[in-house]
Amino acid sequence: MNWYEFLVQNRGEVWARSVEHIGLVAASMGIALAIGLPLGIAIVRRTVLRRWVIGTANVVQTIPSLALFGFLIPVPWIGGVGASTAIFALALYALLPILSNTSTGIAEVDPAVVEAARGMGMTPQQVLWQVQLPLAAPVLLAGIRVATVLCIGIATIAAAIGAGGLGVFIFRGVAMVNNSVILAGAIPAAFLAIAADVALGIFERRVARK
Amino acid sequence: MTSLTDGNKDDYAVEFRSASYRLPAGPSIISGLNLNISAGETLVLLGRSGSGKTTVLKLINRLLEPTEGEVLISGRSSASWDPIELRRGIGYVIQDAGLFPHWTVERNIGLVPKLDRWPKVKIQARVREMLSLVGLPPEQFAERHPSGLSGGQKQRVGVARALAADPPILLMDEPFAALDPITRADLQREFRALAKRLQKTIVFVTHDVREALFVATRIALLSQGRLVGVYAPAEFLKAKEPEIHEFVASLDGGGLPEEAP
């Protein structure tokens, strides 16, 4: 039986795992955005803090994902076997691209424009929402796109700690030494990543053109 | 609420009282500046790069605050003004125009009226009036984005934006410095006519002595953060101070540009 036949025969489970996979990514991206956007904005002007925050996020990024999942299992509250640990770990990975793109995107807005905005009597909030964020939007969205694609990939490993998702097929296939089963997980996961990349890329270009 | 136009008639529009500005743990940018700017005059701050001209402007609209002394706007210390309210009453034009690239010309010009919550119809009419004032046909320019404008057109929009809410004071930071010589001469001429007509208090920063002589009612020369002297253009040419003499000498016998007073 090749991978395609396996996929069609088990389409119910493939579908359920895909939904699970998307759920993991959506939840972790939600957390990463809720933390990364405000934090990225807050550190724009604080150079020392910015170096520390981005440095820390960089270090997290270098931890192999399987190891990070493993580390988190014994941690109280967030740890344990299951989806919540995986979501926490994925959010950590997504944080770096969101943080760094948010803060560099805003920092790179033409200083003359920001100065004009302040000089004309816009409040700091108005400068942020009406000038800095719209002008930083393409860079910011690029960060979100990178983070999403990264999360979709790493989420396959979350199956190792019982979080479900398309990785379940991959680990099962490895255990069974059955390529068809591995591919039934790997190919939909790759498809999800490409689809997210293309869709967010289109959105990014539409925003940039404005 | 008081506004910039409510000041006592005897007050200067802008008054520097021993104002200094120094960076934290750094050198003084401005030291002990005493300078009175009367309502309706065009005062040019002339000086070389790094002389502190732009800092003086930013002390007026409180983008910076004096570390010593004080700056009075309409007779009231800038520190006692709400900075946002103060800035909305002071037009600001900078070298690269600083137009918002994601907004149309119309929205750029309508910025301060919108912030001040003017009704939509009134803003629209005002934007059109301002575009005509700076010589840009509204039907041709209102919907464009800044990226589709030439340098001179951007500066015109910058001036229109600064004047839109009819502020009594206008600050201009080397507004024409980045333009080609012909466009610059055009804009200087139009600006001078406009300044005469509008009777605003204008503080104009430049490093170009010809431009200073052409647009100023008085010229204040700054050198290394200190005020060297304040003269009307005709007296400026005869002033004794060596710093002023250097500037005048740089005119290499050309004297005043044509159309000078």
For residue A173, CA distances in Å to A49, A104, A170 come to 45, 42, 5
**What percentage of residues in chain A have a pLDDT greater than 70?**
100
**Mean pLDDT for all residues in chain A:** 91
- Which residues of A fall below an 8 Å CB-CB distance to B? 110, 112-113, 115-123, 126, 130-131, 134-135, 210
Token pair recorded at residue A52: 């520390």
Question: B148 — contact with chain A (CB < 8 Å)?
Answer: no
pLDDT at B260: 46
What pLDDT does A15 receive?
93
b or e along B16-41 (b: 16 or more beta carbons within 10 Å of the residue's beta carbon)? bbebbbeeeeeebbbbebebebebeb
Q: What is the pLDDT of residues A69-80, one digit of tens each?
A: 888 888 887 777
Q: How far apart are CA A91 and CA B197, in angstroms?
A: 61
Helical segments of chain A, H only: 3-9, 11-42, 47-62, 65-72, 83-107, 111-119, 124-126, 133-154, 167-176, 179-209
For B22-31, the pLDDT digits (tens) are 988 888 899 9
Interface contacts (A, B; CB < 8 Å): 62
Q: Do B115 and A118 touch (CB under 8 A)?
A: no
Cβ neighbors of B261 (< 8 A, separation 6 or more) are B233, B234
Structure tokens that stand for B104 in this block: 């149309």
CA dihedral B180, B219, A121, B128 (to 10 degrees): -50
Question: Which distant-in-sequence residues (6+ apart) come within 8 Å of A109 by Cβ?
Answer: A131, A132, A135, A136
3-state class (DSSP) for residue A92: helix
**Over 80: is that where the pLDDT of B257 sits?**
no
Contact B45, B56 (CB under 8 A): yes
Contacts of residue B240, defined as CB under 8 A and 6 or more positions apart, other chains included, come to none
Q: How far apart are CA B210 and CA B205, in angstroms?
A: 13
Residue from the list A113, A121, A135 with its beta carbon closest to the beta carbon of B98: A113
Q: Is B5 exposed, middle or buried (0-12, 13-18, 19+ CB in 10 A)?
A: exposed
The CA distance from B74 to B78, in Å, is: 9
Q: Taking phi first (over 0 means left), then psi (-120 to 50 degrees means alpha), and beta for anything else, what does residue B7 get?
A: beta
Going from the C-alpha of B64 to that of each of A3, B48, B164, B220, the distances in angstroms are 68, 20, 24, 20
Interval A111-130 mean pLDDT: 94
Which residue has 């005002």 as its token pair? B126
- CB-CB contact of B213 with B219 (8 Å): yes
Could you give the CA distance from residue B216 to residue A112 in angstroms, rounded to a whole number?
A: 25
Query: In the block, which residue shows the tokens 């030291």?
Result: B31
Average pLDDT of the residues in B228-238: 92
Quick one: average pLDDT of B211-227? 93
Tell me the pLDDT band of B10, cut-offs 50, 70 and 90.
low
pLDDT band at B157 (very low <50, low <70, confident <90, very high): very high
Q: Does the distance separating the beta carbons of A135 and B115 come in below 8 Å?
A: no
- Examine the pLDDT at A173 and tell me if it is beyond 70: yes
Alpha-helix residue ranges (DSSP H) falling in chain B: 53-60, 83-88, 105-109, 111-115, 120-133, 138-141, 151-163, 181-198, 209-215, 233-236, 242-249
Q: How far is A127 from chain B, CA to nearest CA, in Å?
A: 11
| Calpha distance B68→B107 (Å, rounded) | 38
pLDDT of residue A132: 95
Give A160 or B3, the one with higher predicted confidence.
Answer: A160
**Residues of B with CB below 8 A from A122's CB?**
84, 111, 115
pLDDT band at B248 (very low <50, low <70, confident <90, very high): confident
**Per-residue pLDDT at A196:** 95
Listed residue (A190, A172, A189) closest to A181, CA to CA: A172
For B57, residues 6+ apart whose C-beta sits below 8 A from its C-beta are: B45, B171, B173, B203, B205
Picking from B59, B64, B92 by the largest number of A CB atoms within 10 A of its own CB, the best residue to mutate is: B92
Interhelix angle B151-163/B120-133, nearest 10 degrees:
130
Q: How confident is the model at residue A60 (pLDDT cuts 50, 70, 90)?
A: confident
Mean residue pLDDT across chain B: 89
The C-alpha atoms of residue B124 and residue B111 are separated, in whole angstroms, by 11
User: Does residue A1 have a pLDDT over 80?
Assistant: no
Task: Encode pLDDT of A3-29 as tens digits.
Answer: 888 888 888 999 999 999 999 999 999
The reported pLDDT for the residue numbered B7 is 55
- The answer to whether the CB of A18 falls within 8 A of the CB of A166 is yes
| Residue B68 to residue A123: CA distance in whole angstroms | 26
Q: What is the pLDDT of residues B117-144, one digit of tens each?
A: 999 999 999 999 999 999 999 999 999 9
Nearest 5°: the CA angle B51, B53, B57 is 155
Tens-place pLDDT, residues B87-118:
999 999 998 888 999 999 999 999 999 999 99
pLDDT on residue A122: 95
**Which is more confident, B254 or B83?**
B83
CA distance A25 to A166: 12
What residues of chain A lie within 8 A of the CB of B89, using their CB?
A: 121
Interface check for B97 against chain A (CB to CB < 8 A): the answer is yes
CA atoms of A143 and A201, how far apart (whole Å): 11
* Residue B27 pLDDT: 86
Contact (Cβ atoms closer than 8 angstroms) between residue B198 and residue B159: no
Closest Cα in chain A to B158 = A116
